[in-house]
Amino acid sequence: MNEIPPEKHDPLIRDLFESDQDIVKVANQHDLSLELLAAWVGEPAIQRRLNSLRYLSQTQKRMINSRWCPTAMTRLSLMAQGQDEKQKPDDTRRACVDLLRLDAEANDENLDDDPIVPTRDSLYSPSSH
C-alpha cells in the first residue's frame, strides 16, 4: 500500500485526535506502517485538517480557562492571603506560585496571534470529500 485511501482519512484523523493510544498502535490498528502514516500526516491537505483540529482544541481549552480562571484566581488569592486557618504554610506558598503562573500563562496566550487560525476551506477542501 503506497497511499491511504480517502475513505480511511476521517476515521484515521478521528483516532489520531481522540485516541489515548500511541501513534504506533494507531498505525497498527489501521493496518498502516509507521512510515506511511508519517508521510500521510505530512501531506499539506492533511496538515491543514490536523491544524484546524488542534486550533479547535486550543480554543476549547482557552474557553474553559476563561470561564474558570477567575474563580481559581479568587480562591488562590484567598489562600495566598492565608485566610483559611486550616491551611498549611506550604499550601499558601504553592497558591502564590500557582497564581503567578496562571497570570503569566493568561498573558502569554493571545488567540489573535495564533499562526494556525483555520478557515472554512482549510477544514474541508473539495479534494477531501
| Contact indicator for 24, 60 with CB cutoff of 8 Å | no
Q: Check residue 16 and give its pLDDT.
A: 92
Number of Cβ within 10 Å of residue 86's Cβ equals: 5
CA atoms of 13 and 49, how far apart (whole Å): 9
| Contact indicator for 122, 54 with CB cutoff of 8 Å | no
Whole-model pTM: value is 0.60
Q: In Å, how far are 11, 13, 95 from 26, measured between CA atoms?
A: 11, 10, 39
CA atoms of 73 and 115, how far apart (whole Å): 29
Angle at 122 between CA 9 and CA 40, to 5 degrees: 35
Q: Check residue 116 and give its pLDDT.
A: 55
Q: Check residue 128 and give its pLDDT.
A: 46
Residue segments in the chain with a per-residue pLDDT below the cut of 70: 1-2, 84, 103, 106-129
Q: Check residue 78 and give its pLDDT.
A: 79
Q: Check residue 120 and give its pLDDT.
A: 59
CA 70 to chain centre: 21
DSSP E strands, the chain? none
Q: Check residue 35 and give its pLDDT.
A: 95
Residues 6+ apart with CB under 8 A from 23: 16, 34, 37
Site of grid cell 491511504: 4
